[in-house]
Structure 1
Amino acid sequence: MLTIHGVTRSRASRIIWLCNEIGLPYKQVPVIQAYRLRDPDAPDAPLNTHSPAFLKLSPAGAIPVVEDDGLLLTESYAIIMHLARKHGAPVGPKSEAEDALMMQWCFYAATAVEPDALTLLFLHGRGQSQSGEDQALIANAAERLVRPFQVIEDHIARHGYLVSGRFTVADIAMAETMRYAQGYGPLMEQFPALHQWLTDAQARPAFQKMWEARLAEPE
């Protein structure tokens, strides 16, 4: 059985969403991020990304990590592409061309969207008050996201989904990445097709199941 190391309040969420979509059973080991703990190295600390047992799996100290039939794999985008290829019909690639396009959108999510979207999440999305410096960082991140969001908006408006006109692992990757910026209204309201696509993706039962489990975890 697939083993997912990482709490759902992490990039493991995209793996769990995919597993829910394709009915792939898994065991989850709830490794928590060390930065969320007061003293991650305390003897009574829960299993976390500083724990020696976890560092044997991930020397980088990052979640998620999966074990799949002897394969130890890190990096969430690589993990979901692997699982989609192996188990993922109909959300996985049906041809080499589809595989390439799905990888293209995963890389685009990782490089063009995620860094600035995370800035919006950490500085705006959690509701804390912002200093003038933070407000400038938020504005700059939102401005940088306009171009990639417009690319995705235009594509979604024409095709409905990212690859082959159907919901695929590429949509999971992009939707979970864009979710970080979702709470920043001044950005999202510029892209109605993108907003609707994201709303529809998050209405899927597989996402809702993942999200319910995520909310059940401690913040």
Structure 2
Amino acid sequence: MYKLYYLPGACSLAIHALLNELNQPVEAIDRNKTTDFDKLESRGMVPVLVDNGQVIREGAAIILYLLDKHKNQMLPESGLEKARFIEWVMFANATMHPAYGRLFFLGKALDDGPAKEQALTAASNSINALWSAVDKQLQQSTFIFGEQITVVDMMLAVYASWGQYFPVDIIMSDKVQRMIDAVKAHPSFLKAIEDEQSASQ
């Protein structure tokens, strides 16, 4: 059984949902309730996956490891289609995620006032441009790669929920919002939320 170290509402939720989608048993462990987490991840970051004693860090690495290990319909076998899929995994993990991370940093680092408002607005404008790129990808489909949900959609749905923590306007098109709503209603995603809520109590 896999062990997945997570924080409630963090990006680890997408990996938890992916494990459910792959029908893999997983023990979800709240990082805040673990006294020796620093032995697994010295930076204190989630997600961390443990597979038969082997520790795997970094969300994109964990995702590609799981999709390569378990039979699925998400990861193309080779060629340009596989490259495009990895491209979108990286977009979510290394572009969209850090863009929201900037909001969290500014929210904590700056004192309230005009300078903070200006910085948060600039950061949210950058995020809005990224959601516009997602909208373009969704012009002909419900999800990023057609009518089948993938972990990319799950990642984006998690990040989309973070905007509620900031006094800025995060603009998403109707197509993007429909995709996010579909992910939130997906059984594997719902189960991940329920399991994490139970584990964190």
Which band: TM-score by shorter chain? 0.7 to 0.9
Answering whether residue 191 of structure 2 is matched by residue 204 of structure 1, we say no
- 1:121: Cα distance to partner? 5.9
Q: Which residue of 1 aligns with 2:27?
A: 27
Answer yes or no: is the 8 Å Cα contact 1:18–1:169 preserved in 2.
Answer: yes
The match for 2:158 among 159, 176, 193 is 176
**1:20-45 deviation digits (Å, cap 9, x = unpaired):** 2222101223222xxxxxxxxxxxxx
Give the letter for the 2:6 counterpart.
G
- Identity rate, percent: 21
- 1:77: Cα distance to partner? 2.0
Give the letter for the 2:122 counterpart.
N
CA distance in 2, matches of 1:172, 1:132: 35
**1:138-186 deviation digits (Å, cap 9, x = unpaired):** 2111111222211110111223322254211222222223332367783
- With 208-217 and 19-28 compared, the bigger mean Cα shift is at 208-217
**1:186-209 deviation digits (Å, cap 9, x = unpaired):** 3235x1111111111111122122
CA distance in 1, matches of 2:55, 2:3: 10
Against the structure 1 CA distance between its residues 134 and 214, is the aligned structure 2 distance closer, same or farther, given a 3 Å change threshold? farther
Against the structure 1 CA distance between its residues 182 and 196, is the aligned structure 2 distance closer, same or farther, given a 3 Å change threshold? farther
Answer yes or no: is the 8 Å Cα contact 1:81–1:169 preserved in 2.
Answer: no
Answer yes or no: is the 8 Å Cα contact 2:88–2:152 preserved in 1.
Answer: yes
Answer yes or no: is the 8 Å Cα contact 1:120–1:180 preserved in 2.
Answer: no
Give the letter for the 2:118 counterpart.
A
Q: Which residue of 2 aligns with 1:36?
A: none
Q: Report SS of the residue matched to 1:62.
A: coil
Against the structure 1 CA distance between its residues 69 and 119, is the aligned structure 2 distance closer, same or farther, given a 3 Å change threshold? same
- 1:73: Cα distance to partner? 0.4
Q: Which residue of 1 aligns with 2:130?
A: 148
Q: Report SS of the residue matched to 1:157.
A: coil
The match for 1:89 among 72, 81, 88 is 72
Answer yes or no: is the 8 Å Cα contact 1:3–1:67 preserved in 2.
Answer: yes
What is the number of equivalent residue pairs in this alignment? Answer: 195
Give the letter for the 2:67 counterpart.
A
Answering whether residue 121 of structure 2 is matched by residue 139 of structure 1, we say yes
Q: Which runs of 5+ in 2 are unaligned?
A: none
Q: Which runs of 5+ in 1 are unaligned?
A: 33-45, 125-129
The match for 2:45 among 36, 54, 62 is 62
- 1:72: Cα distance to partner? 1.7
CA distance in 2, matches of 1:182, 1:200: 19
**1:102-153 deviation digits (Å, cap 9, x = unpaired):** 22112111233122323446778xxxxx543332222111111222211110
- TM-score with structure 1 setting the length: 0.75
